[in-house]
Amino acid sequence: MKDIPLEEAEPARKAFGDLTEGEREMVRDALGVIARDPSAGREIPGWRPPSVEYTYTTPLARDSAEAITVVYTHTPGFGVTVVYYFRDPQVVD
């Protein structure tokens, strides 16, 4: 399967700069998953078709309750736009 084109919105670029290097590494891994399958995240209902908005959350470590969440939109035929990255103190299920 071909990778889906990814681009970052300005708020995502700024948020990436505020992450630690370890958090940035987790974001890079998450973006690899999203580029292969944009539907890997959880869909946020109510978005305007044909775009779909998703969140993808990944733990910072196996035993960590903290995570990084990537918010992004996918428009079939156009690719993925990363909207924001944030630290998430929630337990990942």
Residue type, 15: A
Task: Output the pLDDT for position 49.
Answer: 85
**What pLDDT, in 10s, does the model give residues 27-44?**
999 999 999 999 999 999
Give the pLDDT band of residue 5 (cuts 50, 70, 90): very high
**What distance in Å separates the CA atoms of residue 40 and residue 43, rounded to the nearest whole number?**
9
**What pLDDT, in 10s, does the model give residues 49-87?**
899 999 999 888 777 778 999 999 999 999 999 999 998
- CA 61, distance to chain mean position in Å, is 17
More confident site: 61 or 15:
15
Q: Residue 16 is inside which H or E element, if any?
A: helix 10-18
CA-derived radius of gyration, the chain: 13
